[in-house]
Amino acid sequence: MPDLFSKETRSKIMSAIKSKDTKIERKLRSILWQIGYRYRIHYKIIGKPDIVFPKQKIAIFCDGCFWHGCPKCYKPPKSNQKYWDTKIQKNQTRASYVNDKLKNEGWIVLRFWAHEINENLESVLKEIEKNLKRE
């Protein structure tokens, strides 16, 4: 199936997609701040976690269901399938590498799917709090 948009239009649409400060990140950060947790964003460690608690060495990633190939939500595009399969696979491989690297450096790595943050924020918060209280 051909793309509905011209190459230029598609490029403009794709370039507008954010890589940081996404809705799900802002939603999670907002509630964490409201309940009194202080964290860092754009912290300079491998993988560029969305939320970091440096003292506790906790790195939190908010993964978009499409971009990271969520097993529950991901539906591959009908056009340009080879490109997207490769792209999603690279994202998953990079996420796995970052997880391993951070864990080897003593970090706790938490990854949440967008649908988890949107549909079950309370359990996401419980998981974060459980790890923050590990000290």
13 against 23, higher pLDDT: 23
Q: Report the pLDDT averaged over residues 72-91.
A: 92
pLDDT at 15: 60
CATH of 18-132, one of 3.40.640.10, 3.40.960.10, 3.40.30.10, 3.40.50.720: 3.40.960.10
pLDDT at 29: 97
Domain ranges of the chain: 18-132
Indicate the pLDDT class of residue 42, thresholds 50, 70 and 90.
Answer: confident
Q: Report the pLDDT averaged over residues 29-35.
A: 97
3-state secondary structure the chain: CCCCCCHHHHHHHHHCCCCCCCHHHHHHHHHHHHCCCCCECCCCCCCCCCEEECCCCEEEEEECCCCCCCCCCCCCCCCCHHHHHHHHHHHHHHHHHHHHHHHHCCCEEEEEEHHHHHHCHHHHHHHHHHHHCCC
Q: Report the pLDDT averaged over residues 93-116.
A: 98
